[in-house]
Structure 1
Amino acid sequence: MSKLVVKKIKKKDHPSLDIVTSKGVELIGKKIVLCVAGSVAAYKAIELARLLMRHGADVTCVTSNAVTKLIQPDYFKWATGNEVITKLTGELEHIRLADYKQSDLVIVYPATANTLGKLANGIDDTPVSTVLTVGFGSKIPILMCLAMHESMYDNLAVKKNIEFLKNKIQFVNPQMVEGKAKAPEPEDVLEIVLKKFGFSSVLKNKKILITAGPTLEYIDPVRVITNISSGKTGVLLASELISAGAKVTIVYGPGNQKPSKGAKVINVTTSKEMFDITKKELKKKFDVVIMAAAASDYTPESVSKSKIKSDKKCLTIRLKKVPKIIEQVKKLQKDTLLVGFKAESNITKSALIKSAQKKMKDVNADIMIANDIGSKYQKNPDRNQILIIDNNKIKSSGWKQKEKIVKLIRKEIEQKLK
């Protein structure tokens, strides 16, 4: 008797997702809710969804009942690869999509006078208006692209609603054509979205190499010497530069942060691996090299092939200095923009500046990021205070979340590349 063999079939991604990142990775990892209101311009929402996806976004459409009379929901599912929200159920779709930090952006395209009025007055009697009410309350950014007859656009009640919302959400100006305030073109909305997430014409297509995270130096097969670097600054910086349009390669030690989507990630463990891989990558041309890793300065002279017995009262381990990766960068690529990091602990600001300036000169860096990782930093490692040193200019960030710190570093890099 033959055996019945049952194979588990892996669920495949929707075929429409093949276009994701085909034009860029600026929006990778970004969840965008596309609310489509009942206007004849709704057909253009298909094109907008596809444009956003081609730059990496994950798009979910929410439609009003009026839209489904113009366009079948399956068309939106075909376009995005995601289920279309046409009604609210026990699945709590409005919470899943628009509650705190559930999505990165809500776009209303096209936005009718009716939808505008409901948001301005807290009315939520359709899937679109309810998603908007939740998103408005949870402070998810909302981008509203108005489309209606010019006479409606000039209506005092409509203008009052726009006035009430103008400093709370972002409007995209309609095109005034043939007596109508027509929805902006999808390409124009895409450009606004890209800029909203940090796109930069200066950084577009720039090739950037980043090292990040700690390294592990083995004493025996199970014991290591390391440091407490999380790799967070390097990973956040990679994400920031990807959103700006750069092509990022990250050589990443064993940090506890998830590497940035959209980056080429090369995982390493030891300082030797990081050194060798970085040197190998530098055979390619990079516009910017950022040495953010907390690579070990020393490694054991010899590594025990077997686990060292734990019965000894005292153990002596001899360490040797490892080569500095940053010292090789300008030797291999003299024209690259080199950004170095210098960390000290519990020293004065003047001593930190002096130390960073010396390192900057020794390695021929263009920008040096200095910070004190002593006791004050250890109390809350998600915050940092850096000094950005550029020749004789010194800028202090003040204590900020690392998400804001990397934006300052990115701006400094942009200024140098202009």
Structure 2
Amino acid sequence: MAAKKKVNDHPSLDIVSSHGVELTGKKIVLCVAGSVAAYKAIELARLLMRHGADVTCVASGAVTKLIQPDYFKWATGNDVITKLTGKLEHIKLADYNQSDLVIVYPATANTLGKLANGIDDTPISTVLTVGFGSKIPILMCLAMHESMYDNSAVKKNIEFLKNKIQFLSPQMIEGKAKAPEPEDVLDFVLKKFGFSSTLQNKKVLMTAGPTIEYIDPVRVITNLSSGKTGVLLASELISAGAKVTLIYGPGNEEPPKGAKIINVTTNKEMLDATKKELKKKYDIVIMAAAASDYTPEKPTKSKIKSNKKALTIRLKKAPKIIDQVKKSQKNTILVGFKAETNLSKSALIKSAKTKLKESNADIIIANDIGTKYQKNPNNNQIIIVDEKNTITSGWKKKEKIVKIIRKEIEKKIR
């Protein structure tokens, strides 16, 4: 999940993760060499940021004659490197584990030749030399006239580097090897960092978080669900290319950027929101919320006086939201969750299989939230049950758990 924007952050960082969180936590160095295609580097930087990346630009002297460095500062929110100083910018950017990827966009024949021959007489060539030595992945997006691209020296440099760095093929248009479009570079980068074409553009409806049921205007019945697993799973699916709508109860976790968020409070509000959304077509529906099983039969409109020695509250069964899904959309992939406390593994599996049948679900994620879980709720152990298989995850951090769930959902799509 993307970090909250700090008060002193650059205003341009407002766009970070607005389209997805695939690149959250990834530091990308964008080296902009002296080509007229340099203006497209600004669009590329913004696309990478919209998917969560932290982008720092290194601009060549030729580029600064075409585009003022402040433009790159505006685009990324980070200082632009136009010269190397005693701050050792090349080391901070490209030494071991300092960045996740170096992109050269556009990449000229000159820049290519310097990297291939160990020449580092400019900020870009020095950053590339350091990154090449520290084995930071380098993606080079060539742009030049076709005759330059066909030059035997250029071809020799490409041949030398092709198994050491990555190239994104240029577009051969009007006698020029034009730089790939920014969207094509983004797609390449997303795939490099685990983008899932299986889930690309799949429409996912999720519920997550607890619900609260009012006894009176100030007193409620609820549960201890934080919403963390649901939020992490939503983020994981967004990162894989899915379009997620999240119906979210009052959980403690901040919902992920890139999802459509529908905030609800009570079981009835969650049920009504789910029914409304199911009027639209969804490929996958995931019921991860800890919705209340019971709700007060007659909540009072005014605060109950505290002078009573005893109080009886009558509860009624709340509707099971998961039972509504297949009635509305027969062909959607339905994933449900089943929480129990202090059961044996066989009893938990039996409970999950019962729910699988009752709800007509495709997958049930069962877990025991009893004594062991409550000691460290950041970890969990799940059992994934479908009609044919039972898979146990073992105890893992929830960040790992949601990746396992994602893989099982992907299997149902294939």
Settle same-fold status: TM greater than 0.5: yes
* Residue segments in structure 2 that go unaligned for 5+ positions in a row: 1-8, 143-148
Find out whether 1:366 has 2:362 as its counterpart. yes
> SS of 1:350's equivalent?
helix
Tell me how far 1:275 sits from its aligned partner. Answer: 1.1
Instruction: Give per-residue Cα distances to partners, 1:13-55, cap 9 Å, x unaligned.
Output: 66x999997xx64658676534215454872762761672596
**Among candidates 345, 348, 360, match of residue 344 of structure 2:** 348
Structure-1 residue corresponding to 2:378: 382
Contact 1:368 1:389 (8 Å CA) reproduced: yes
> Which letter maps to 1:233?
T
Find out whether 1:267 has 2:267 as its counterpart. no
Structure-1 residue corresponding to 2:283: 287
**Among candidates 42, 47, 52, match of residue 52 of structure 1:** 47
Tell me how far 1:201 sits from its aligned partner. Answer: 2.7
> Which letter maps to 2:30?
C
TM-score normalised according to structure 2 size: 0.75
Tell me how far 1:299 sits from its aligned partner. Answer: 1.6
> SS of 2:412's equivalent?
helix
CA distance in 2, matches of 1:414, 1:212: 20
> Which letter maps to 1:145?
M
Instruction: Give per-residue Cα distances to partners, 1:62-105, cap 9 Å, x unaligned.
Output: 21454545543348539836455125899998999899999875
Which aligned pairs between 1:191-210 and structure 2 lie closer than 5 A? 191-210=187-206
**Among candidates 222, 226, 230, match of residue 226 of structure 1:** 222
**Among candidates 391, 397, 417, match of residue 393 of structure 2:** 397
CA distance in 1, matches of 2:324, 2:127: 56
Pick closer, same or farther for the CA change 1:174–1:316 going to 2, 3 Å. same
Pick closer, same or farther for the CA change 1:48–1:228 going to 2, 3 Å. same
Contact 1:150 1:176 (8 Å CA) reproduced: no
CA distance in 2, matches of 1:243, 1:38: 30
Which aligned pairs between 1:82-231 and structure 2 lie closer than 5 A? 82=77, 84-86=79-81, 106-109=102-105, 112=111, 126=123, 142-145=137-140, 151=153, 171-172=166-167, 186=182, 188-231=184-227
Instruction: Give per-residue Cα distances to partners, 1:218-265, cap 9 Å, x unaligned.
Output: 222222221111111111111122222221110000111111111110
Contact 1:32 1:107 (8 Å CA) reproduced: no
CA distance in 2, matches of 1:96, 1:288: 43
> SS of 1:405's equivalent?
helix
Q: Which moved more, 1:312-321 or 1:42-51?
A: 42-51
Tell me how far 1:182 sits from its aligned partner. Answer: 9.7
RMSD between aligned residues:
4.7
Tell me how far 1:387 sits from its aligned partner. Answer: 1.5
Contact 2:195 2:240 (8 Å CA) reproduced: yes
> SS of 1:278's equivalent?
helix
Structure-2 residue corresponding to 1:257: 253
* Residue segments in structure 1 that go unaligned for 5+ positions in a row: 1-10
CA distance in 2, matches of 1:82, 1:63: 13
Contact 2:90 2:126 (8 Å CA) reproduced: no
Find out whether 1:73 has 2:68 as its counterpart. yes
CA distance in 1, matches of 2:98, 2:220: 39
Structure-1 residue corresponding to 2:408: 412
CA distance in 2, matches of 1:59, 1:348: 46
CA distance in 2, matches of 1:131, 1:376: 49
Identity across the alignment (%): 55
Tell me how far 1:296 sits from its aligned partner. Answer: 1.0
Structure-2 residue corresponding to 1:339: 335
Pick closer, same or farther for the CA change 1:150–1:260 going to 2, 3 Å. farther
Pick closer, same or farther for the CA change 1:276–1:99 going to 2, 3 Å. farther
Tell me how far 1:172 sits from its aligned partner. Answer: 3.8
Contact 1:214 1:295 (8 Å CA) reproduced: yes
Pick closer, same or farther for the CA change 1:144–1:216 going to 2, 3 Å. same
Contact 1:31 1:58 (8 Å CA) reproduced: yes
CA distance in 1, matches of 2:405, 2:367: 13
Pick closer, same or farther for the CA change 1:68–1:278 going to 2, 3 Å. same
Structure-1 residue corresponding to 2:58: 63
Tell me how far 1:405 sits from its aligned partner. Answer: 1.7
CA distance in 2, matches of 1:96, 1:307: 60
TM-score normalised according to structure 1 size: 0.75
> Which letter maps to 2:217?
P
